[in-house]
Amino acid sequence: MLTQQKIIHALKDVEDPELHKSVVELNMVRDVHIEGTHVSLTIVLTIQGCPLKAKIKQDVETAIQALGATAVTLQFGSMTDEERKQLTASLKKENTTSEGMPTMLREDSGVTFIAVTSGKGGVGKSTVTINLAAALARQGKRVGIVDADIYGYSIPTMMKITEKPTMIDQMAVPVTKEGVKVMSMGFFSKDNQPVMWRGPMLNKWIRNFLVNTHWGDLDYLLLDLPPGTGDVAIDVAAMIPQAKEIIVTTPHNAASHVASRAGVMARHTKHEILGVVENMAFYETSDGERNYLFGKDGGSALAGALATEVIAQIPFAQPEENTGSSVYDEDSVVGEAFTHLAEDIIHIN
Ligand SMILES: Nc1ncnc2c1ncn2[C@@H]1O[C@H](COP(=O)(O)OP(=O)(O)OP(=O)(O)O)[C@@H](O)[C@H]1O
Ligand SMILES: [Mg+2]
């Protein structure tokens, strides 16, 4: 026989497709009525016009039919402002420790932070960030990107993200692309105007992105940093001392990186360096011959100076034509290089 209890129990397995939490836990199930084998109920949505309504409807119906119901009448409602506030307060509480620290930063959070840095601009940090993230996701890892280049954010454009994060009260649900959860200041700027925050606001911004974002469980959080040793790099170092660093260079820019890198190291020696990624390292012709356009030793010289290793050499190549995305195809030479890098990183972390 169908009972309220059985129905609620079955709905515990139905997740809100955005928050990835049970609709029961999120307090979205209301007015369950049973008449014989006919069940009617209301699901209150976190936001109005939730685009994933159809998915919820199907999952709820399937779960209740599996109990033997012959008809399910489902109505949708939406949470009141008060209910939404309560929900985000509880999500935010989960994201914050009793000391007020982002939960993610706890040693036992299971999240590996990887900051992608460089001494100079334009060497391919963002390219490395998004392609490494996509490669980690292809390996089944749960991956997020924080576009920490807050003045010169480029991740949304480079990944061809046109959506904005869903906002539930003050809580942002990151946009998922290539299997990766993405947050960027670019989502919040008006008409792509640059962001003009300085000093203390910056630190708050990083915190906000850790605490007021519903990341769910992550294995890796990649941070795409602006070039050099500015405020953001210093704040990230202070806020996330456990982050590991990947330093991106091109062969011809390596020398200039040593000096600027030394500056950061003098101030913050905490970040462990995973290694150097030498980007645009060579050009491979169609018959597999490698041309080293900018010399051969830049990456290894930088790695030597920093007492680390070159962990990847990424060839010079265009991403797939016509897509406009800077994420390289899995089967391309560059895509494969990132797959190897992802495998190595998974192996050591
Ligand atoms: N391996 C590559 N082959 C060809 N083009 C590349 C490669 N890597 C990066 N690029 C191109 O070089 C330009 C700079 O790359 P990217 O934006 O990733 O660098 P960045 O270090 O993040 O720059 P910024 O310092 O401005 O943030 C982009 O147009 C990108 O598409
Ligand atoms: Mg960049």
d(CA 153, ligand 2 centre) in Å = 7
Overall average pLDDT of the 175-197 stretch: 78
Share of the chain above pLDDT 70, in %: 89
The torsion angles phi and psi of 136, rounded to 5 degrees, stand at: -65, -40
For the chain, the structural domain boundaries read: 4-82, 103-348
What is the dihedral angle through the alpha carbons of 16, 44, 213, 108, rounded to the nearest 10 degrees?
-50
The chain-wide mean pLDDT, for the chain, equals 87
Residue 263 pLDDT exceeds 90: no
119-137 residue pLDDT tens: 888 899 999 999 999 999 9
Q: Is the pLDDT of residue 265 over 60?
A: no
Residue 197, pLDDT score? 45
What is the distance in A from the centroid of ligand 2 to the CA of 126?
Answer: 4
Task: Please tell me if the domain spanning 4-82 has the same topology as the one spanning 103-348.
Answer: no
First to last CA, the chain: 50
C-beta separation of 216 from 142 below 8 A: yes
Q: What is the pLDDT of residues 319-334, one digit of tens each?
A: 877 788 999 999 999 9
Q: Which residues contact 316 (CB under 8 A, 6 or more apart)?
A: 280, 281, 282, 283, 293
Identity of the residue numbered 142: R
Query: What is the distance in A from the centroid of ligand 2 to the CA of 105?
Result: 24
Burial class (CB in 10 A: 0-12, 13-18, 19+), 80: exposed
> Any known ligand binding at 189?
no
Stretch 184-203: mean pLDDT, rounded? 63
- Rounded to 5 degrees, φ, ψ at 27 are 60, 40
126 in a labelled binding site: yes
Token couple for 294 = 């900018």
Q: What tens digit of pLDDT does each residue of 45-100 get? A: 987 666 688 999 999 999 999 999 999 999 999 899 999 999 999 999 999 998 88
pLDDT of residue 206: 82
Tell me the CA–centroid distance for residue 245 and ligand 2, in Å. Answer: 15
Label residue 201 by pLDDT band (50, 70, 90).
Answer: low
CATH of the domain spanning 103-348: 3.40.50.300
How wide is the angle at C-alpha 295 spanned by C-alphas 289 and 298, nearest 5°?
120
Q: Which residue has the higher pLDDT, 253 or 152?
A: 152
Q: Residue 194: is its pLDDT beyond 60?
A: no
Residue 321: the pLDDT is 75
In this model, does residue 297 exceed pLDDT 70? yes
**Residue 226 has what pLDDT?**
84
Counting every residue, how long is the chain? 349
Measure the CA dihedral 154/157/162/163, to 10°.
-20
Rounded distance between C-alpha atoms, residue 174 and residue 163, angstroms: 10
Q: How confident is the model at residue 347 (pLDDT cuts 50, 70, 90)?
A: very high
- Establish whether residue 324 lines the binding site of ligand 1, counting it when its CB lies within 6 angstroms of any ligand atom: no
Confidence tier at 266 by pLDDT (50, 70, 90)? very low
Closest atom of ligand 1 to 317 CA is 3
Position 260 scores a pLDDT of 56
Report which of residues 312 and 118 the model is more confident about: 312
Query: Quick one: which ligand is closest to 248's CA?
Result: 1
Q: Is 119 annotated as a binding residue?
A: yes
Q: Is 295 annotated as a binding residue?
A: no
Reference 314, options 336, 289, 329, 345; nearest CA is: 336
* pLDDT in the model for residue 236: 83
Cα-to-centroid distance, 224 and ligand 2 (Å):
7
In the structure, ligand 2 is a single-atom ion and the residues with CB under 5 Å from it are 125-126, 154
Q: Which CATH number fits domain 4-82: 1.10.3720.10, 3.40.50.11540, 3.30.300.130, 3.30.420.40?
A: 3.30.300.130
Higher pLDDT pick, 259 / 68: 68
Mutate to test the pocket of ligand 1, among 127, 132, 257, 336 (most ligand atoms within 8 A of CB): 127
Q: Which ligand 1 atom is at minimum distance from the Cα of 149?
A: 27
Give the ranges where 155-291 is alpha helix by DSSP (H): 155-158, 200-211, 231-239, 254-267
Q: Is 152 in the pocket of ligand 1 (CB under 6 A)?
A: yes
The whole-number pLDDT of residue 316 equals 93
Mean pLDDT of 32-45: 95
Mean pLDDT of the 106-131 span = 93
> Does 144 appear as a known binding residue?
no
